[in-house]
Amino acid sequence: MMIPIAPPVLVSAGEASGDLYASLLVEELRRRSPETRFFGCTGPRLRAAGVETTLRAESLAVVGLVEVIAHLPRIYGEYRKLLRAVRREKPQFAILTDSPDFHLRVAKRLLAWRIPVIYLVAPQVWAWRKGRVKLIRKVVSRLLCIFPFEERFFTENGVSARYIGHPLAAMVRPMLSKDEFFRKHAIPENRLIIAILPGSRRGEAARHVPELIGAAERIAKEFSVHFILPASANTGVAFFRERIGTSSIQVLDGEAWDAIAHADLALAASGTVTVEAALLGTPMVTFYRVNPVSWLLGKMLVRVPFYSMVNLIAEKRIVPELMQSDMTAERLSGEAGRLLRDPELRSRMRRDLGEVAGKLAFEGSAISRAADEVESVMEARVV
């Protein structure tokens, strides 16, 4: 007698952080059901987890309302490619992670084909484009929230949402002790260490690097410091070394958590890395810059008291935010200098960051809870 093979599962992630979270969920689901096959839009971690690649997540990594326009034909082609694979594979359900402009469009088609959607990492419609809530309510079977304030917002708007905790809360820790890390990279021990975190995508990093180099030069004139820049897998070491040139910034191949954990201060692009720095208790100055037109459009659409997720979770300003025209070498070095000159100010920020980390921690594993929610959706469908 032939044993029927269950349909595969569609997994799609468009960002580096989403690639990580989705890969962990795939590993947990495979542990529970070893025969399950996964396919879809993959980053390096999903590929390492054995998910068959229909298209690569790197092809979707574009930030900015205006910046994305030039890439629309290519992205639409990737969208059509993914849908062809869905029609061919007929998955039992889909796990979509981040990239709402792409994935909510995919989810609409999946609804038409009666394929349940579990959405991991809630779209930030509480900040802008709140009209999307109606679409999410319609096309998403279960929305998995990683920030504590999101569940209430979505459930009040009729979405089947669950707060699972932040996956990074149980993961983020250095691999090496400070002594081991310093010896490995020949980092001087008698200096303050500043981690430079320009962003995981090439486009955003390229916008930030010139001002970060200028800030480093200004800071070095006043303080005895050493700068380290952990390059992401998406950017690579060569990308930064070409741009940094004769600057004293030491570029590392990855090792971001070690670099952040052992730094006295981080200059961090607003995004997931600021959450990582909060979990590691490292004081920081946050920043971000996009195309000027994207910024003006965003200013009209975004309705939040803070831009940094750390401040949003804390519900108060605990880290400086230097956005768009404020993201200059002078302002970066000024905020960094204020923290470097005042150990008590850094200690107070660490205490506040500890409170943020406490809010992100949730009893048990976020990924295990996510897998429970996936099983709950599928059991309800069978019944």
Architecture of domain 9-165+362-382 in this structure: 3-Layer(aba) Sandwich (3.40)
Instruction: Report the percent of the chain where pLDDT is more than 90.
Output: 68
Structure tokens at 201: 């995508």
* Domain 9-165+362-382 matches domain 178-360 at the CATH topology level: yes
- pLDDT band (50, 70, 90) for residue 250: very high
Above 50 in pLDDT, residue 193?
A: yes
Task: List pLDDT tens digits, range 326-362.
Answer: 999 999 999 999 999 999 999 999 999 999 999 888 7
Q: Residue 226: CA atoms inside 13 Å, Cβ hemisphere, count?
A: 18
Torsion over CA: 125, 128, 134, 140 (sign): negative
Give me the pLDDT at residue 189, please: 85
What is the rounded average pLDDT for all residues in the chain? 89
**How many residues does the structure list for the chain?**
383
Residue with more model confidence, 78 or 115 = 115
- The count of C-alpha atoms lying within 13 angstroms of the C-alpha of 74, restricted to the half-sphere facing its C-beta, is 12
> How does pLDDT run across 290-310, given as a tens digit for each residue?
877 665 666 656 666 677 889
pLDDT band at 76 (very low <50, low <70, confident <90, very high): confident
* 149-153 contact pairs (CB < 8 A, 24+): 149/312, 149/313, 150/122, 150/126, 153/126
Residue 26 structure tokens: 């795939």
Which sequence spans correspond to the domains of the chain? 9-165+362-382, 178-360
Cα 182–Cα 206–Cα 48 angle in degrees, nearest 5:
65
126 phi and psi angles, rounded to 5 deg = -70, -15
Q: Tell me, which fold does domain 178-360 have in CATH? A: Rossmann fold (3.40.50)
How is 275-312 classified by DSSP, letter by letter? Answer: HHHHHHT--EEEEE---HHHHHHHHHH---S-SSHHHH
